[in-house]
């Protein structure tokens, strides 16, 4: 589905990518979608204070990718998250190897990664 996500077709796209066998109600679907607001909050806090809860951010994005597919989650997140946070989002998606080559919602090649966040994420990886 290469059609751009818009406000009008957002739910259609989200439902098409959604794959959560343990979901039995529409409320559970909306609860899974609510992860977007948690991710937005974490990115906003990082922008304001410079502090980030890397593990929590990574966990929310992994869960989104597990239930919406990595491509679907990437597209949903780039559509839903403010442009000024796209560099942080791209950094995490690249770190997780979830970033698609291209998506209709944004020009990925014009978005830089965030060096400090990349360093923090790699530090997590070294703790394993």
For residue 39, give the nearest of 66, 77, 6, 87 by alpha carbon: 77
> For residues 98 and 73, is the Cβ–Cβ distance under 8 A?
yes
Average pLDDT over all residues of the chain: 92
pLDDT of residue 92: 97
For residue 39, give the nearest of 86, 96, 99 by alpha carbon: 86
Confidence of residue 20 (pLDDT cuts 50, 70, 90): confident
> For residues 85 and 108, is the Cβ–Cβ distance under 8 A?
no
Mean pLDDT on 67-74: 94
Confidence of residue 56 (pLDDT cuts 50, 70, 90): very high
Number of residues written out for the chain: 128
Burial zone of 71 (CB within 10 Å; 0-12 exposed, 13-18 middle, 19+ buried): middle
The rounded percent of the chain whose pLDDT value lies above 70 is 96
pLDDT digits (tens, 9 = 90+) for 26-49: 898 999 999 999 999 999 999 999
**Contacts of 107 by beta carbon, 8 Å cutoff, 6+ apart:** none
Tokens of 8: 């009008």
Domain parsing of the chain, residue ranges: 10-126
pLDDT digits (tens, 9 = 90+) for 71-98: 999 999 999 999 999 999 999 999 999 9
Confidence of residue 110 (pLDDT cuts 50, 70, 90): very high
> For residues 58 and 64, is the Cβ–Cβ distance under 8 A?
no
């Amino acid at each position: 589905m290469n059609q751009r996500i818009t406000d009008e077709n957002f739910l259609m796209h989200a439902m098409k990518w959604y794959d959560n066998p343990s979901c039995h109600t529409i409320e559970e679907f909306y609860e899974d979608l609510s992860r977007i607001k948690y991710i937005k909050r974490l990115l906003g806090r990082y922008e304001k204070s410079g502090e980030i809860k890397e593990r929590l951010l990574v966990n929310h994005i992994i869960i989104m990718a597990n239930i919406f597919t990595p491509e679907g989650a990437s597209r949903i997140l780039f559509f839903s998250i403010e442009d000024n946070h796209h560099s942080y989002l791209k950094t995490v998606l690249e770190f997780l190897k979830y970033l698609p080559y291209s998506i209709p919602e944004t020009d990925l090649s014009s978005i830089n990664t965030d060096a400090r966040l990349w360093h923090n994420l790699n530090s997590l990886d070294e703790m394993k």
